[in-house]
Structure 1
Amino acid sequence: MKFGIVIFPSKKIQDFANSMRRRYDPHYALIPPHVTLKSSFEATEEEIKEIANKLDSIARNFRPVNIKITKIGSFKPVNNVIYLKVESPEELEKLHNELNATFDGNQEYNFVPHITIGQKMSDDEHSDVYGSLRMTKVQFEDTADRIHLLYQLDNGSWTVYETFRLGKE
């Protein structure tokens, strides 16, 4: 089964992201707006129980993370993805690094905290959409106090397997 680890931002940020994702992200209906901490990975039912236990301990060692979103960015020329840039506080970097060190640290790209708002576009479409969206004024601050272990359903959508609160209770 395929799993991933994410942070879901506040409803206000999700609503803002979805206002653009509806048009520009073909994955809009498959997963809510999120910050990926650990890209998708394969695990069995037995393995995921142990992973969930490790996630619980990791989450307890991290305080809630303050995130700021101040602009719209793009990964072009690597790929035609448009995103809300999440300013990366040190704590978010450390959490990402800890998760990757604990769970097979292979990752395709460097960690750039973001919320995808558009993807799978042609070069021309990307250029047009990014050209207009990057002028959008963006100013959000949020505190993420939990991480989510997701799994992928047969229809390609993602749902929460378990949620872990950051910090000691």
Structure 2
Amino acid sequence: MKYGIAIFPSKKLQDLVNSYRKRYDPHYALIAPHLTLKDPFDVEDEDELKEMTRQIHEISDNIQPFNINVYKVGSFHPVNNVIYFKVKEEERLSKLHEQLHKDELYSERPYTFVPHITIAQKLPDEEHHDVLESMKMMDIDHSEPVDRFQLLYQLENGSWTVYETFHLGKVR
């Protein structure tokens, strides 16, 4: 089964992102707006899944909550036609991403980690350029706390749902 790890932002930010995704993202109906921490990966048996969730709990216990700040629109063009809200680099966010790719959780990363929330993808080049140029004029400055992230799994219809939520910082 396919799994992935992501942060779901506040409803306020999700509503803003979805106002664009409805029109510009063919994955709109498959997953809520999110910041990907670990791209999809396969887990085949229950024991492997239990061990992996134990390790993820250990990681989440040792990283304190942090803020994310969305501050501009960016694009991965020409590598692919993705338009996104850029999230400022944050030490604990980067550490969380790194920890989720170490040791037994290791998996190939197809790209360098660029914290972002996708707002458009798979557009033809000309439309991508037009949409990007108009979105770059937006004044974006949104900050919010992050105190949890989710392990997701993919359903047969291609949509994603939460398997387990992990809270940051050890509960004392």
- Verify: 1:116 aligned to 2:118, yes or no: yes
Is 1:22 the counterpart of 2:22? The answer is: yes
- TM-score, normalization: structure 2? 0.96
Correspondence 1:155 to 2:157: yes
**1:93 matched to which residue of 2?**
94
Matched, 1:64 2:65: yes
* Pairing 1:120-139 to 2, within 5 Å after superposition: 120-139=122-141
The Cα offsets for residues 23-55 of structure 1, whole Å up to 9 and x where unpaired, read as 000000100000000100000241111111111
Quote how far apart the aligned CAs of 1:167 are: 0.3
Q: Aligned AA for 1:140?
A: H
Distance 1:88 1:65 in 2: 11
Count of aligned positions: 169
* SS at 2:101 equivalent: helix
C-alpha distance in 1 between matches for 2:152 and 2:16:
22
Q: 155-164 or 100-109: which moved more?
A: 100-109
Counterpart position of 1:7: 7
How far apart are the structure 1 equivalents of 2:63 and 2:23?
35
Give the Å deviation of 1:131: 1.0
Inter-partner Cα distance in structure 1 for 2:133 and 2:115? 21
Among 138, 143, 146, the residue aligned to 2:145: 143
Residue type at the aligned position of 1:16:
L
SS of residue matched to 2:157: coil
Where does structure 1 lack aligned partners over 5 or more consecutive residues?
Answer: none
Shift of 1:86: 0.5
TM-score of the aligned structures, taking structure 1 as reference length: 0.98
Q: Does residue 32 of the first structure (1) align with residue 32 of the second (2)?
A: yes
Q: Which sections of structure 2, spanning at least 5 residues, go unmatched?
A: none
SS of 2:106's partner is coil
CA deviations 1:129-162 (Å, max 9, x no partner) are 1011111111110111001000000000000000
- Deviating 4+ runs (over 3 angstroms): none
